[in-house]
Amino acid sequence: MKKTVSDSRTTLSQVMQISMANSAGNIHGGEIMKIMDSAAGAAAKRHARSNVVTARVTEMEFIVPVHVGDLLICTAELAFVGCSSMEVLVTVEVENPQIEAPPKVALTGYFTMVAIDENGRPKKVPELIVETPEEKKRYEEREKIYRQRKKELAEAKKSRT
């Protein structure tokens, strides 16, 4: 069975609290990453229809700060699918709910999630159907990175033996 990017797209929103911030009122990056990981996991779980685990986080790019009271909006969508792994793009938007202004992109990142079966072993996932030019471009970019990473891991493993 194949699934589209939109089949598993997930959005999580949360108002940022004082307990998530430093003394200057800026939200800790780790707090945001935790929410991003939850969004990525939910999107991957919807695609795989199984439990998933986080295998890698890459290309985290913080663009604007997030403050106490801001509304954080995380959107997670699959960018590439391998056999059991899924590359999930998470885009975080931030808005001040007290000001009439559109949300701003605060950061983005890629999460590699792996589907697992009831024994904790990697499990095959459905293929990904890309429908838009942007989805196709992202898929091709992430596939290239995926293949390069696999090659590097194989070479590293070979050199250790």
**Chain segment 129-142, per-residue pLDDT in tens:** 999 999 999 999 99
Sign for the pseudo-dihedral over CA of 112, 117, 123, 124: negative
Band (pLDDT 50/70/90 cuts) for residue 111 is very high
pLDDT, averaged across the chain: 95
Taken in order of first residue, the domains within the chain and their CATH numbers are: 2-160 (3.10.129.10)
Q: Is 70 within 8 Å of 96 (Cβ atoms)?
A: yes
Q: What is the rounded distance in angstroms from the CA atom of residue 149 to the CA atom of residue 117? A: 24
In percent, the amount of the chain with pLDDT more than 90 equals: 89
pTM of this structure: 0.93
CA-nearest of 9, 79, 12 to 43 is 9
